Amino acid sequence: MTMAELINDIIDGAISAGRTYLMENESKAILEELGISTTGSRVARSEEEAVEIFLSLASPVAMKVLSPEVVHKSDAGGVKLHLEGEDAVRQAYREMISAFQGRAVEGISVQRMAPPGIEAIVGVANDPTFGPVLMFGLGGVFVEVLKDVSFRSIPITLSDAQEMIEEIRGYTLLKGSRGHSADIEALEELLMKISDFVASEPRVWEMDLNPVFLYPQGCTAVDARIILGEPRPSPPEEREEQDLHDLFYPQSIAVIGASGTPGKLGWNVFTNLVSHKFKGMLYPINPRAEAIHGIKAYPRISAVPEPVDVAIILVSAGMTADVVEECCQCGVRYIVVESAGFAELGPEGKKIELQMKEIADRYGVRLLGPNCSGIINTHCSMVQSIGIVDALSQGNIGLVSQAGVCAAGMLWGLRHIMDFGIIATIGNKLDINETDIMEAVSRDENINVICMYLESVKGGRRFIDQARRITREKPMVVLKSGRTEAGKKAVASHTASLAGNDQIYSAVFRQSGIIRARDYEHMFNLARAISKQPLPDREGVFIITYAGSLGVIAADAITDNGMRLSELDEPLKQRLKDLLPDYVCGMNPVDYTFSQDARIVKSTIEIGVESSDVGSFIVILQAEILDSYVEALKSINYQGKPIIACVAGKEFEMPGVIKMEKAGIPVFSTPEQVADALGIMYRHHKRITRARARGKDWAKAKGKI
């Protein structure tokens, strides 16, 4: 009998018996078939059989009740440990049979006692968004009190297994501490085997290997439980790559519901397209208008004589399904529904959504929204936003947002210090979801960094695989809301989404190489830094300041973020000494006090650029003379080393801040913000470097080689 046949027989037998779980002996039989060491589980159905098994093991034993009515054996008193003689085995057998009299007892499991080791737990749970998820942590207080566990979506790669082990706080104990250590390679192999098994067996919904004892050589599962369920749906076959290029770069746009009345959403959208000088053809659709903004209007889209690439719908929810059908009949390729009042408002709105989806699918048309604010693409002068948007510069930041406010409200201020290339809002994600848009934006050569605001993820495992591919080339910064119960309720009423388990989201982002932002300010700070500066390739930081206290704070902050002060070699130190005033003695941070000016900062940075130990720069500048630094800092050849400026009170000197940002140097308010950004950028550099080195492992797991 093959391994697959034996496993099928065990699972089929449990299901035939009406059970939704496997008993310990069955679970361990599967683990042994997978090549995972266990303490065994031979079944005794009499006192004599229990003694016979005990004698054959020649070891102290544990005895556990096996019953379809008892899942948690320890809690029910169905476990006896450290039994070392025939009399003890007989007594334990009698006590358990007596204690569970009247219940369906299959027998008593007799198994060898495992020698003590480092206690760990390995588990599997089924997440509604990402499917089966693997969990690892150290047992006892580590998991019960400290919640020191890591997660990854299944299937995992070897690099995922390594990262799961390394990121728990107890990793130091596994590497070796106070005479204890674990066979890391054997643990990685265990995690990979569990992942492969669960990925291949859709009826397994949960697993619990607790405890697993880790030894300097090998590891052993002491107890095991497997929970069964309806077969998980097979992951959708990977679609042929969707080319959404013409959604972002259309030749023609119709606005259904365009208005000549200022203040209406139809006015806002059409005004944005006209005022930003969209380069393609525009067709306002309004049965009561002859022209809008001097452009001929049509009573309905079927009256437009030319092909339409994108139709933007701004009519009431009740009319939307009919309008979608007419667009499809006219050969429209992409539909953007900016109207609201759908699933986010309840069952009636959901019904309309389903009608729209059925129509779009029938015609093979892709639909964005509803309840969104369209797409902005500065590289083709296209602004579909429902809020009026002022002049934008072409940029390299791609922003994908589930909320429309990012497309208008926030741009009013951010456009002065950030240059966006694409902003895509996705709303309720009826058809085109975050993964589709993320994938399309990542392939745009004008975009170098991607930001996302998400309330949920619809793409599931495909989101992970695509994000993992993207982050090796372009950093992704994601702000995920709905972390708390209150936040989850707000998400449900906002975009009709399920926020999901936040701990799983954090794990999935780590697995994908995504940088998770704490809040909007954090996301946009990171986007500014990454879009304007290279990633640091070493941990040494060179700090220049006019205020000693801010230099000390910066030094603390970089240490807190896993970096350190750089050390200049002797020739460079001497050059720096020649430059320093007599009253300055520190070499890093370099504190010039209030005599600091643009010339001396430029000369100091140029010395740091030559140091092989300097990976990045923090310059702390006076707000009142910020203007004077712009040209000097802009003229330096940093040789691929990032620089971020810190300006206390920058909000009172915005003209200078804007000039510095336009020169490509991000300006933050505090040393802690700067250190946080540089630390994240450095860790991301290390991660992608390691991921590229492990790329063959990933490609092999995906069947690419």
468: helix, strand or coil: helix
Rounded distance between C-alpha atoms, residue 428 and residue 622, angstroms: 46
Q: Which residues of 667-681 are buried (b: 16+ CB within 10 A; e: fewer)?
A: bbbbbbbbbbbbbbb
Rounded distance between C-alpha atoms, residue 339 and residue 256, angstroms: 11
Region 352-377 average pLDDT: 96
CA atoms within 13 A of residue 306's CA, in its CB half-sphere: 12
pLDDT at position 490 over 70: no
| Answer CATH for 535-690 from 3.20.19.10, 3.40.50.261, 3.30.420.140, 3.10.20.520 | 3.40.50.261
Tell me the pLDDT band of 648, cut-offs 50, 70 and 90: very high
Q: Are 232 and 202 in contact (CB under 8 A)?
A: yes
Q: For 39-63, how does the pLDDT look when each residue is reduced to its tens digit (9 = 90+)?
A: 999 999 999 999 999 999 999 999 9
Q: For 297-335, how does the pLDDT look when each residue is reduced to its tens digit (9 = 90+)?
A: 999 999 999 999 999 999 999 999 999 999 999 999 999
Q: Which of 181-190, 211-220, 373-382, 409-418 has the lowest mean pLDDT?
A: 409-418
pLDDT of residue 93: 94
Q: Structure tokens of 653?
A: 């000197």
Rounded distance between C-alpha atoms, residue 644 and residue 667, angstroms: 6
pLDDT of residue 29: 96
Residue 494 identity: H
Element (H, E) at 50: helix 47-57
Q: Are 282 and 274 in contact (CB under 8 A)?
A: yes
Integer-rounded Cα radius of gyration of the chain: 31
Q: Structure tokens of 375?
A: 């797409």
Mean model confidence pLDDT for the chain: 91
Q: For 251-305, how does the pLDDT look when each residue is reduced to its tens digit (9 = 90+)?
A: 999 999 999 999 999 999 999 999 999 999 999 999 999 999 999 999 999 999 9
Give me the helices (H) in 397-535, please: 411-414, 434-442, 461-471, 485-495, 502-512, 520-532
pLDDT of residue 617: 98
pLDDT at position 68 over 80: yes
Question: Fold for domain 372-532?
Answer: Rossmann fold (3.40.50)
Q: Are 561 and 547 in contact (CB under 8 A)?
A: no
Question: Higher-confidence residue: 669 or 3?
Answer: 669
Q: What is the number of other CB atoms lying within 10 angstroms of the CB of residue 55?
A: 11
Q: Structure tokens of 606?
A: 């140029």
Q: Structure tokens of 601?
A: 């900062």
Q: Which of 440-444, 486-490, 514-518 has the lowest mean pLDDT?
A: 486-490
Region 112-128 average pLDDT: 94
Q: Which of 169-178, 268-277, 490-499, 680-689 has the lowest mean pLDDT?
A: 490-499
Rounded distance between C-alpha atoms, residue 65 and residue 50, angstroms: 12
Rounded distance between C-alpha atoms, residue 694 and residue 692, angstroms: 5
- Looking at residue 513, the DSSP 8-state letter turns out to be T
Q: What residues contact residue 63 under an 8 Å CB cut-off, 6+ apart? A: 50, 79, 80, 83, 89, 92, 93, 96, 108, 109, 110, 111
| pTM for the whole structure | 0.90
pLDDT of residue 410: 72
pLDDT of residue 494: 34
Tell me the pLDDT band of 148, cut-offs 50, 70 and 90: confident
Q: Superfamily assignment of 40-113 in CATH?
A: ATP-grasp fold, A domain (3.30.1490.20)
Which residues pair with residue 123 across a beta bridge? 135, 208
Tell me the pLDDT band of 703, cut-offs 50, 70 and 90: low
Instruction: Establish whether the linkage from the previous residue to 235 is cis, with ω within 30° of 0.
Output: no
Tell me the pLDDT band of 499, cut-offs 50, 70 and 90: very low
Q: What is the number of other CB atoms lying within 10 angstroms of the CB of residue 122?
A: 24
Rounded distance between C-alpha atoms, residue 417 and residue 655, angstroms: 10
Q: What residues contact residue 558 under an 8 Å CB cut-off, 6+ apart? A: 541, 543, 564, 565, 618, 675, 678, 679
pLDDT at position 495 over 50: no
Q: Where are the beta strands (DSSP E) in 154-309?
A: 204-214, 219-221, 224-228, 252-256, 281-285, 291-292, 295-296
The DSSP code sequence of 290-333 is: SEETTEE-BSSGGG-SS--SEEEE-S-HHHHHHHHHHHHHTT-S
Class of the domain covering 118-228: alpha beta
Instruction: Estimate the crossing angle of helix 461-471 against helix 434-442, to 10 degrees.
Output: 20
Instruction: Dihedral sign for Cα 324, 330, 333, 334, please.
Output: negative
pLDDT of residue 407: 55
Tell me the pLDDT band of 702, cut-offs 50, 70 and 90: low
pLDDT of residue 470: 97
pLDDT of residue 585: 80
Tell me the pLDDT band of 483, cut-offs 50, 70 and 90: low
Judge whether 40-113 and 535-690 match in fold: no
SS3 per residue for 338-407 = CCCCCHHHCHHHHHHHHHHHHHHHHHCCEEECCCCCCEEEHHHCEECCCCCCCCCCCCCEEEEECCHHHH
Q: For 653-665, how does the pLDDT look when each residue is reduced to its tens digit (9 = 90+)?
A: 999 999 999 999 9
Burial of residue 261 (number of CB atoms within 10 Å: 0-12, 13-18, 19+): exposed
Report, in this order, helix, strand and coil percent for the chain, each rounded to 5: 40, 20, 40
Rounded distance between C-alpha atoms, residue 456 and residue 435, angstroms: 11
Listed ranges 77-81, 148-152, 510-514; the one with the highest mean pLDDT:
510-514
Tell me the pLDDT band of 594, cut-offs 50, 70 and 90: confident
Rounded distance between C-alpha atoms, residue 331 and residue 302, angstroms: 10
pLDDT of residue 586: 85
- Looking at residue 70, the DSSP 8-state letter turns out to be B
pLDDT of residue 341: 85
Q: Are 471 and 513 in contact (CB under 8 A)?
A: yes
Q: Structure tokens of 611?
A: 């140091």
Instruction: Estimate the crossing angle of helix 3-16 against helix 24-33, to 10 degrees.
Output: 160
pLDDT at position 38 over 60: yes
Instruction: Establish whether the linkage from the previous residue to 211 is cis, with ω within 30° of 0.
Output: yes
pLDDT at position 406 over 90: no
pLDDT at position 698 over 60: no
Q: What is the number of other CB atoms lying within 10 angstroms of the CB of residue 374?
A: 29
pLDDT at position 696 over 60: no
Which residues pair with residue 423 across a beta bridge? 376, 399
Rounded distance between C-alpha atoms, residue 186 and residue 182, angstroms: 9
CA atoms within 13 A of residue 677's CA, in its CB half-sphere: 31
Domain residue ranges of the chain, discontinuous segments joined by +: 40-113, 118-228, 372-532, 535-690
Sheet with 42-44: strands ordered across: 42-44, 107-112, 61-66, 79-83
Region 550-558 average pLDDT: 98
Q: Structure tokens of 519?
A: 């809040």
Rounded distance between C-alpha atoms, residue 208 and residue 24, angstroms: 10
Q: For 200-255, how does the pLDDT look when each residue is reduced to its tens digit (9 = 90+)?
A: 999 999 999 999 999 999 999 999 999 999 999 876 665 555 689 999 999 999 99
Instruction: Establish whether the linkage from the previous residue to 231 is cis, with ω within 30° of 0.
Output: no
pLDDT at position 534 over 60: yes
Rounded distance between C-alpha atoms, residue 39 and residue 106, angstroms: 19
